[in-house]
Structure 1
Amino acid sequence: MFCEKHGDVKDRIFVIELDSLQREEKPAAFHDLLGYPFWLKNEHNKIRKLGFPEPQKTDSEYFNRLIDLASDVAQALSNFKPEIATKTETFIPKATIYVAPVNDALYDQRANLVSELRQFQIAVLPKKNALTADTASELDKCSHFVQLLSADRAMGIPQQQLAIAEKAGKPVMQWRDTQLNITADSINPEHKQLLEHKTVIAAALPDFIRMVRETVLPEKKPVIDSGMSQGKNMIFVHAGQEDYHHAQRITDFLFTKGYGFTLPQYEGTPERIRKTIERGFQFCSILLILQQRTPAEAVEDQLAEAQLHAQKCEPKFDILLCRDPTAEALGFIPPNTKLFNCNSNFHEHCLEQFLQQVEA
């Protein structure tokens, strides 16, 4: 009767899920509605209701989802009754990114990501954790594609989401928990490849959120007299997206010391990204590669490409590799590569040592 009275039930019906149900098990009117899962699946694949039999103060998952529900209900009421809506601060985003909808195991992580990014005026599509009919059209409105991954293959949906983002030419940032054992036999082989993808960052979630924020809204570099760089070396600071914030800070420091620099750019089309990397190899007299969180495979590819360019250039540029001791071990380092073990922040003391080697 309710559905007959209201032709469009979107934002009028709120489905509270106390158990796991497949789409076809729900009434047809609920198929395309957002569900609020008040349950979790434990390590034995058993369903555990949140807040059962009574919510406890420590039931953070229960209260997080209750807050989401209350917020969405309040927003719906505000939309239908604008005359009683409370005055709220206008949200004007500085950027909009696509955060792929996730399965129930990652519900809280996505909610935390969206909430923290909003504080820095970064809007997220889709607004709700639900698949939409046209992912490609939503991606067109976004600068970046962000995806959270777990061991659950989710019927191949994460692979499909990534394929759409790559086809659209969007910069990709993917996350998985550092505690996730990606070698487990229980993980689908195709999904295991996704978990080992070159853009997947294994990190604590707060660190990943910071990386997303700094990548989407990079800090503007101070304007410094360009005359300082005359007569000095041109340094190509090469880093994967995982360590890009370190590279930006290092180039600020180098420029104050009178050095020219070039950085790869990870925004724009693949052709644009490739052009900035080629330009770095073309004009540098010194290549500095950074590795803290960047996967070994990506760094090895950077070193191999650098070796090929160095052999073609006259005079050849020096290759220096600055690594955090905790970084993933490398299986390929070309000859005559100078290796520096640096701390995780690549602070100025380490850079001073680097410059001493350069100027020796």
Structure 2
Amino acid sequence: MSRHFNFSAGPAALPEEVLKTAQQEMLDWHGCGLSIMEMSHRSDEFMSVAAQAEQDLRDLMHIPDNYKVLFLQGGATSQFAMVPLNLLRGKTTADYINTGVWSKKAIAEAKRYCDVNVVATTESTQFTSAPTQDELVLNPDAAYVHYTPNETIGGVEFDYIPDTGDVPLVADMSSNILSRPFDVSKFGLIYAGAQKNIGPAGLTVVIVREDLLGDTLAGTPTMYDYAVHAAAGSMNNTPPTLAWYLTGLVFKWLKAQGGVEAMEVANRRKAEKLYQAIADSKFFSNPVVKRNQSWMNVPFILADSNLDSTFIAESEKAGLLNLQGHRSVGGMRASIYNAVNEQAVDALIAFMNEFERTHG
């Protein structure tokens, strides 16, 4: 069996060690005589898996004790509604920063529940940068401020954490969570779909400050109430047990690598290497302002777009998978999450150099 290098934006690459452990444990989990997929989510065995996964995440991100960690379903997209339903807390206005496709989707959903104040947008420059702190026109009476620290599609990443004063800061960290240390105490709420940098699709992690729980908008469905999930240990209904288990294995793998501090070093090195290769090329280019170039998602454009399909076909033959850019922007995109090692980045750079030599 030969595994190729997977640059998919999500569902994304998982650590090979995690997949091997899951393979070994799939039929008989720790001598129980059944698969983790088959056991009750309320059994002592699975409860221990769930508790350990939460503790490992708390350790990795240094999550303060006054935050709840929830393992939910519905993807990050459901959070576009759950955030205003839970965090408006009697107010009617929320601030949003618009930096790309996922910001726009969050804004559109929030408008169903409140007045949205777009405090800054980079749409006029095709979302090739993130606004600076000075460009944020914040409302001190807003219920919260929402932003997307890393736009997966456009490859735009904030180089700072916005200062929102006493207004809770909400972050969609789906594509850059665990890629480096973040000071959780600066956020009121963090949410992230698992399928990029946490684990397999089917799970969404929410980290929410306790004082923001328990005051939902009238008519909020039970399953959209963070307080309900917090009280039930994320088991108000049957959770996605396999995804939770695999996520726990990823957390253990991250700890073994040296935690998010070690990931920061590796991710910075991978990104700098790939961006430098693009900058040194006359055939490839990246449209994002340098200070906002994403460590996780690296879009690049060929000088001759007629060669796009050839690039994809030849890269796949070379064992480099899922490099096609999002359909909304075109071009190419390499997602180099934690599980994508430096060898994969080196192989991509070597292929790009050879492609430019033969087609440039």
Structure-2-length-normalised TM-score? 0.27
Structure-1-length-normalised TM-score? 0.27
